[in-house]
Structure 1
């Protein structure tokens, strides 16, 4: 069951304000629809922020009239509302109208879609961090000063935040242990990051070892909430926030054994401290040997630029491995459109001063450019090579099997020796050289 099936927000009017230009409501409409709202109208304004309503007073009253005329149940505001603005706007609306801003809306969608303990904890923590300053500002000064007063909503919220942070620390420690085991087994960790609906889940399924080229990507079943690289199913739909868990699958790229992790989609204009609440996703990005930064090339130029900027902002803070920009959905563009999209991505990366590899244009849906992307990923992964000449023994054959499981081994069997050329992760090559030295030593002693 997906987010849209579970949420039913009623009839909504969206509202947006921008100081510099007439607001584009495309994304806030899609967010509202993802939360189950039927968008029946909109009110926009180009002006600086009004301290009382955020919108100007006249425009705020116009919004109230539209709500009444369209018989709407809710208003979805594209931006952040202060507690005072929230209260004053509600006073203008018909009785029973609900009001939510952009940040609360995204958190509600995340909360409804979270399945695993880690995802649920992250969303709950982000929600509490969002609410805390509003509760603090709305609480009477006398209650705030009574630091030890029993029942203080601020103190209660702070305690809940502390408890959730401790719980999330335990969960992320377990995830770190799991990643360490995978590295020891010879896997390279690769994270897929990017704006929501950029096509990360489609790309994950395209690259995974169990991808079936004869089956339709659109037939994938829904995410069951587990983070299991053997059994995880992947939903591939054209919806915002379809992937709300970190999903991991195995892939083999030019002999390299890789674990690909699809992370929660990013979204613009969320407060930095809320983004930090999703530490499990950011940890996956930080621990990856390489990161695929996936963007939707079919977005118009301004929207594409904004989404690349959002992605770069997160990656610049968290990615430690090489970043490969992946310009997806080029099947929707002609040659000129592809060049324009690649140019926008290159411009944003240059302006941000982020060191990345050359952007790769692909269509994860139909496979255009995916072979080139595989080569780019392998080229971005840390690599090392070694050659071995070993005695033809059972121990040497076990060593060869171990190499095949952890990298790319080219083996020649002779009557008196086994010759091996091996390429893999530096840590694996180092371990292989130590093992080979022991085998050669045992052979001489024999």
Structure 2
């Protein structure tokens, strides 16, 4: 069955083009499902994010074919449509095996790109990789993806020369080891930076979730130096400091901003958006990016309340499956509640609670754009962060004033002056409170 791209996707593609210029190339999207008629909406959105203009779509409801993924007749129809539309590539909404990739490359006209979902996501990541860690993660994922396909090609053409200089397989394996060594070094440094920030009194809060759930908008709502004032109506997500219209995978680079939440000094980190259908080994390739979640004192898992219930459940399952548990608590933030009426919101809250189970400490409802529920979210975040409180009775001396300046920088401090004495109440991370005790004990009484 052939059909034209739906109008909604055309609008989404127009938004992408407005932001980044016209698409670079044309493509036919292909989707197959054994149980139901495939929906090409998400793969077309991925195509738009990768700067393809979708000129046609082919779908098939049948079991997987070992040679072409599609049935042979449908694969031959695809070859004819590539010629008729002069498409540059065929984009498959599945992961192709190396053998299927090789067979399709031979069947389609010379020069036609064969891109499966795995490779399509990699193309988007490649365009969005900004810092060194992101670029290395993308390269490692691409090399791991290409290695079995290179091996398949060399074996089919009798060019396999194991362990010989000049073999593409050997060269690729060598480059993978080099990239992994570099990433290990960067990951160690990132872990050291997080430890340093904790020593400085910062709590680390990661914002995670399915792509376009509103993670970056929530960052703008909570961060001290960002604002959502002046945003256009609607629920376009935000990236870094600028508005981006309904964009998948805008960047792999984590965005970190400061926030003062109930007196606590917090570093908020917005992480890459997840999407269904990405193989687990591909997600694992971006471990340096996702480490910010696993090493956080608290993680906010953002979900889109305006999604239909089945889609909401599935996106939440995907997110929970791919994310390692944070060292602290996990809060599910049901965002965009201003788009949902009361009864529907109750249903969605129940759905989230049933899927998340005991992995989530709480389910909160907010509108990051409108601000509904933001104060309650801040209160819940503050209460969930690791904390300890201690009181000191100190002499009113220069040393105590220096201690107070340190305390204000590393936690939440209140001081009451009574004659020549100062009563200090200090709250902060347990390790920082221990340092406060040590500093206070060293203050001399004149």
**Normalised by the size of structure 2, how large is the TM-score?**
0.90
Change in Cα spacing, 1:30 to 1:46, as seen in structure 2 (3 Å) is same
CA deviation string 1:94-133 (max 9, x = no partner) = 4443221101010011101111111111111110111112
Distance 1:418 1:336 in 2: 53
Q: Of 295, 309, 313, which aligns to 2:317?
A: 309
Change in Cα spacing, 1:180 to 1:147, as seen in structure 2 (3 Å) is same
Asked whether the equivalents of residues 205 and 234 of structure 1 are also in contact (C-alpha less than 8 Å), the reply is no
Answer yes or no: is 1:386 the counterpart of 2:394: no
| Structure 2, gaps ≥5 residues long | 1-15
Q: What residue is the counterpart of 2:129 in the other structure?
A: 114
Change in Cα spacing, 1:268 to 1:15, as seen in structure 2 (3 Å) is same
Q: Of 129, 132, 148, which aligns to 2:147?
A: 132
C-alpha displacement at 1:134, in angstroms? Answer: 1.7
Change in Cα spacing, 1:217 to 1:28, as seen in structure 2 (3 Å) is same
Counterparts in 2 of 1:56-205, with a 5 A limit? 56-140=71-155, 144=160, 146-205=161-220
Change in Cα spacing, 1:328 to 1:147, as seen in structure 2 (3 Å) is same
C-alpha displacement at 1:437, in angstroms? Answer: 1.5
Distance 1:294 1:222 in 2: 14
Asked whether the equivalents of residues 212 and 237 of structure 2 are also in contact (C-alpha less than 8 Å), the reply is no
| Structure 1, gaps ≥5 residues long | 224-231
Q: What residue is the counterpart of 1:325 in the other structure?
A: 332
Change in Cα spacing, 1:213 to 1:125, as seen in structure 2 (3 Å) is closer
**Normalised by the size of structure 1, how large is the TM-score?**
0.90
Q: What residue is the counterpart of 1:404 in the other structure?
A: 408
Distance 2:296 2:81 in 1: 49
Answer yes or no: is 1:269 the counterpart of 2:277: yes
Q: What residue is the counterpart of 1:31 in the other structure?
A: 46
Distance 1:217 1:414 in 2: 53
Q: Of 433, 437, 441, which aligns to 1:429?
A: 433
Asked whether the equivalents of residues 134 and 289 of structure 2 are also in contact (C-alpha less than 8 Å), the reply is no
C-alpha displacement at 1:220, in angstroms? Answer: 11
Q: What residue is the counterpart of 1:206 in the other structure?
A: 221
Change in Cα spacing, 1:9 to 1:301, as seen in structure 2 (3 Å) is farther
CA deviation string 1:134-177 (max 9, x = no partner) = 22233228655x43311111111011000000111111122122
C-alpha displacement at 1:213, in angstroms? Answer: 5.9
CA deviation string 1:236-291 (max 9, x = no partner) = 54211123211100001000000001111112222222211112212111211011
Is the partner of 1:140 in helix, strand or coil?
helix
Distance 1:264 1:16 in 2: 25
C-alpha displacement at 1:222, in angstroms? Answer: 8.9
Change in Cα spacing, 1:234 to 1:426, as seen in structure 2 (3 Å) is farther
Change in Cα spacing, 1:214 to 1:134, as seen in structure 2 (3 Å) is closer
C-alpha displacement at 1:404, in angstroms? Answer: 1.5
Is the partner of 1:240 in helix, strand or coil?
coil
Q: What residue is the counterpart of 2:8 in the other structure?
A: none
Distance 1:255 1:378 in 2: 9
CA deviation string 1:9-45 (max 9, x = no partner) = 4222211111222222111110001111122221112
CA deviation string 1:212-246 (max 9, x = no partner) = 464437899996xxxxxxxx635554211123211
Q: What residue is the counterpart of 2:306 in the other structure?
A: 298
